[in-house]
Structure 1
Amino acid sequence: MLRFSIQRSTRYFSTSIPRQQQHLTDVAIIGAGPAGLSLAAALKANPTTKSLSVGLIEGSSLDPVKNFSQSPPENFTNRVSSITAQSVDYLEHIGAWKFIDQARIEPFDNIVAYDGLSNSRIEFDNMEMGTMCENINLQSCLLQRIEELNDPTLKIWDSTKVTNIANDTDDAANGWPVIQLSNGDSVKTRLLVGADGFNSPVRKFAAIESRGWAYDRFGVVASLKLKYEDYRSIAWQRFLPTGPVALLPLPEKNATMVWSTTPELSKLLVGLPEDVFIALANCAFVLPQVDLNYYYTLAQNEEYDELLSDIKWRFENYTSKPTIDIEDFPIALESVIPQSRARFPLKLSHADSYVSNRVALVGDAAHTTHPLAGQGLNMGQGDVKSLVESLELAMKRGLDIGNLLALEPYWAQRWPENHVLLGVVDKLHKLYSIDWSPVVAVRSWGLDVVNSLPMLKDFMMKQVSGK
C-alpha cells in the first residue's frame, strides 16, 4: 500500500462540521498526469530540492493508477504515448523507470512514414527510437517511486478539485498564491506549478496568454488486435489529405492507433460497427485515397454489407499487384477492443511565457501540439527536467524559488526548444494536408531525397529520439 500522505475530498456523515485547514507548501503542483507526477518525484529524488515541501493536487481519483501495478487491466488502454530514449534516461535518473510494467511496453527501432497520395516514403532505423507505453503505466511507475521515497513533506490530494486561485495580498508582485480546494481546505504556496492541461486554471490565474489555433481536425484513438504478432517493431504513419493515420506497436498482437481526420469523419469512425471500423482502418494504410473516399460514403449511408464485400475484393486485388509488396505495410488488423475508441480535438497552442511571479507552467499547460510527431509527453518531461534544474540552481544560490530570477532560466531554455518543435510539426501537418498535384510531387521528391541521405536521416532520428 502507498504510505505517503493522501488527502481526499470525500465527506462522511458527522455530527460536527470539520475544521477547514490552510496548508503551507514550498511547491504546489496542480495536475497528477505524467508531468505533475514526474515533477513531484524529481523534486523529492534530487538531493538539493528534496527539502522542499510539496503538495500535489488532482481532481480525479488516483485509485486506478495505484491499483494498476497489482491488477492491470486485461486489455491495453487507449491513452498511449511514445517515450523517447531521452525521456527514459531521465525517468531512470529520478529512479522511476524501474517500476514500469515491462510486460506492457514495446520498444520500437523503426519508423516508416509514407505519403498517401504518392506512396513516397522514408524509413528511420535506430535502436533507440522510442518506447510505446500506456500513460497509466507511466503514472503508476512515478507513483511507486514517490511511495519508495516515502517523504513526509510530500502531500497528495486526489479526488480534490481546485475551486479558486488568488494571491494572499492585493500586491501580486509580493503575494503568495492561495489555492482553494473543493474539500474546504486551502493551500498557500511559495511556487505554484500548473501541470493542469490545455485549459490551465494556473495559466489563467497568472494572466499568461496562450496563442495558437485549432486544426479543425480530431484524433481518433483505439486499442487494436493484429491478425498475428509483428516482430518488426515498426511505428507506421501514412499521411492522408485529411490527416495522418498512425499504427504503433504494443506487445504481442496488440497495437494502438491515432487517426487524425475531419470532425465529421472522426464522429463516424467512433460510431461504426467494430468490423466496419477495422475494415476501414486496414484500408487507410494501403488503398488509394479515391477508394477511401468511396468507402467513407458507403459508411455514412450505412451500406455496410456492400462496403465489407467491396473492401475484401479490392484489398485482395490491390495487394496482389506485382508492384505492391505487402511487407511495405502494417500487419492487418483483426479487431478493436470494445469501448476503446475515442476522439479529441487537435490544436496548436504555446504560452507566451512559462513563468510569472511564483508561477511556472509545464506540459500541456504551456504547449499543445499535433500528435503526428508523438512528442507531447516528451516535451512535458523535458520541461520537468529543466524546471528542477533551475530550482536546484536557485537553491544553491540562495534565491527564493518563486522569484522570477529563479524561474527565468527554465523559461529561457525550454520556450525556444519547444517553439521550434511546435513549428516543425505544424508545418508538416499543413504540408501533408495539401492534395494539389504540384505540391504532392515536390514533397514526394523531397521525401525520396531525404530517404537517400543517411547523414540527414541520422540527424532527424536524433531529433525524434531525443538523443
Structure 2
Amino acid sequence: MLIERPEANAGTTGREREMKDIIIVGGGYVGLSVAVAVKKAAPHLEIELMEAAPEHVWQKDERASAIIAAAINMLKTLELWDDIKDDAQPINDMIVTDSKTGEPVKPVFLTFADRAATNEPFAYMIPNVSMVRALRQKADELGITIRHGAAVTAFENNGGHAKITLAGGEEIATRLVVACDGVRSRLRYMAGIKTVKFDYGQSGIVTTVAHERPHNGRAEEHFLPAGPFAILPLKGNRSSLVWTERTDDAKRLVESDDMVFEVELERRFGHHLGKLELAGGRRAFPLGLTLSRAFIAPRLALAGDAAHGIHPISGQGLNLGFKDVAALAETIVEADRMGLDIGAMDTLERYQSWRRFDTVRMGMTTDVLNRLFSNDIGPLRVARDFGLGVVDRMPGLKRYFIEEAAGRTMHDKPKLLAGEPL
C-alpha cells in the first residue's frame, strides 16, 4: 500500500497535536531500542516515546541482564556499545548442576567452557542502568522526544491513522503505535489481542551479592527442587542472582531480615567463592508464561514483554525483546524506503511472521525446562541428569547449544543482529 501522508493537522480535534509517524509506549530497553534503531536509519521519521513512570525511576534499577552475542552486535551497530562495554562482564563459561537444596557438593552435569565460533563470549552481563543510560543518551542525540508521566488511557484505530489518549485528555494521532509497555500491556488489552497465560506458582528473587573470591566470568545454573538458582558474574567480585522459589516462600524470604535471607542464600550458593555479602536490595517477581495470540493489530505492533513473557530459566527474556526490536525496525525502515504505509497490516504482517514462531518455540522450551527441572521426583532426576551428561560428552551438540544461546543460529536473522546497519 502506497502511503499518502496526511496534512499536519488533518482530522484532529482541538485537543490533538500534529500527526506523528510513530508513537512508542514504554520507555524501557525495548521501547528505547526501537526508537533509536528506526530514527538512526530514518531520521526524517517523527518518533515520540511515552513513558508512564517519572523521569528518574530507571536510575534506581539495581538489576543486570544477560545479553547474548547477537544482541551485542545490535548495540554495536547502533553505536551504543562504547558507552556500555566498560560496565559489561563477559560470560566466559557456564556450569549446570542438579542437586537438592543445601547439599554441600553440587555435581556438575554440563559445562559450556568454550567460546562461540567467533571466539567471542556468547553473552555479557550488563547493569540495566548502564544500558538504559546509553539508550537515553543516544535517543537525545537523535532528537527523539521522551515524555515522562505520560500514561496512555485509550487507543483507537481510525483507518488511515491511530489515535492515543493520554491521562490528561490530550489526543495524539500517529501512523503507528508500538506497544512496549510490559507483560501486562494496556495497549494489548485496548487492541483486543488475546493471550495464552500460565502461572507457575513461582517467583524470581533478584539481588546482587559480593563474594571473597573472583568468579572468573563463570555463570552457574543450579537446578533445585523449587526452581533454578542462577549465579551470573558482574564486574569485580560480584554476582547477580536470579533465585526461583515457590511464590509464598519467595515472599517470606524477601520480607525476612538480612540474617535469615543470607543463611538461606548460603545454603543454595555454597562456599566456593568464599564469604558472601549482600550488595543490593532484593525483589521478587511473579513468574509465568504469557504469549500473545497476535503481535500486531491495525496500526499497532507489540514488542518485548508486551508480546511475550517467559520463564528466566534460559536467560532469554530480554534477548527475545531485542530480536523483536531488530525485526520491527527493519520492517518499518524498509517499508518507509519503499514508500509504503508503515502502519498498514500488510506491512506489519512481515514483522509478525518473522517473530512469532521463534517466540513460541522459546516460550515452549522454557516451559518444558522449568517443568522438567523444578521438582524432586527421583526417576525424573535420573533421566534428566543422564541427558545432561550425554550432551556434555558430545562436543558437536554442545557447540550447537552455545551457538543457539548466542543467537547465531537464528533463521532469517535481521540485519542488526548480524551487525549490519539498516
Q: TM-score range by the shorter chain?
A: 0.7 to 0.9
2:273 alignment partner AA: I
1:273-352 equivalences under 5 Å are: 273-286=257-270, 330-337=272-279, 340-352=281-293
Q: Deviations along 1:69-115, whole A, 9 cap, x unmatched?
A: xxxx8xxx532110011101101111222222x44321111111111
Match of 1:32 in 2: 27
1:228 aligns with 2:221: no
Match of 2:134 in 1: 141
1:162 alignment partner AA: V
Match of 1:295 in 2: none
CA shift in 2, pair 1:424/1:333, >3 Å: farther
Unaligned runs of 5+ in 2: 1-13, 101-105, 409-422
Aligned counterpart for 1:131 among listed residues 119, 124, 128? 124
CA shift in 2, pair 1:64/1:205, >3 Å: closer
1:137-286 equivalences under 5 Å are: 137-149=130-142, 151=143, 154-168=144-158, 174=159, 176-230=161-215, 232-286=216-270
Q: Deviations along 1:181-227, whole A, 9 cap, x unmatched?
A: 13442211110110000111111122111112010000011121112
**Structure 1 Cα separation of the partners of residues 257 and 337 of structure 2:** 60
Q: Which moved more, 1:215-224 or 1:180-189?
A: 180-189
Unaligned runs of 5+ in 1: 1-18, 169-173, 287-328
Aligned with 2:263: secondary structure?
Answer: helix
Aligned with 1:197: secondary structure?
Answer: coil
**Structure 2 Cα separation of the partners of residues 337 and 108 of structure 1:** 20
1:87 aligns with 2:71: yes
Match of 2:99 in 1: 116
1:53 alignment partner AA: E
Q: Taking every aligned residue pair, what percent have the same amino acid on both sides?
A: 31
2:110 alignment partner AA: I
Decide whether the 8 Å contact of 1:224 with 1:333 is kept in 2: no
1:396 to partner: Cα distance: 2.9
Aligned counterpart for 1:434 among listed residues 375, 382, 395? 375
**Structure 2 Cα separation of the partners of residues 95 and 104 of structure 1:** 16
Aligned with 2:91: secondary structure?
Answer: strand
What's the TM-score once normalised by structure 1's chain length?
0.79
1:52 to partner: Cα distance: 1.3
Decide whether the 8 Å contact of 1:178 with 1:187 is kept in 2: yes
Match of 1:53 in 2: 46
Match of 1:360 in 2: 301
**Structure 1 Cα separation of the partners of residues 377 and 183 of structure 2:** 33
1:331 to partner: Cα distance: 1.2
What's the TM-score once normalised by structure 2's chain length?
0.87
Match of 1:324 in 2: none
Aligned with 1:28: secondary structure?
Answer: strand
Q: Which moved more, 1:119-128 or 1:369-378?
A: 119-128
Q: Deviations along 1:377-406, whole A, 9 cap, x unmatched?
A: 111111010011111221233211111111
Q: Tell me the matched-pair count.
A: 385
Decide whether the 8 Å contact of 2:218 with 2:233 is kept in 1: yes
Aligned with 1:56: secondary structure?
Answer: strand
Aligned with 1:50: secondary structure?
Answer: coil
1:395-406 equivalences under 5 Å are: 395-406=336-347
1:399 alignment partner AA: L
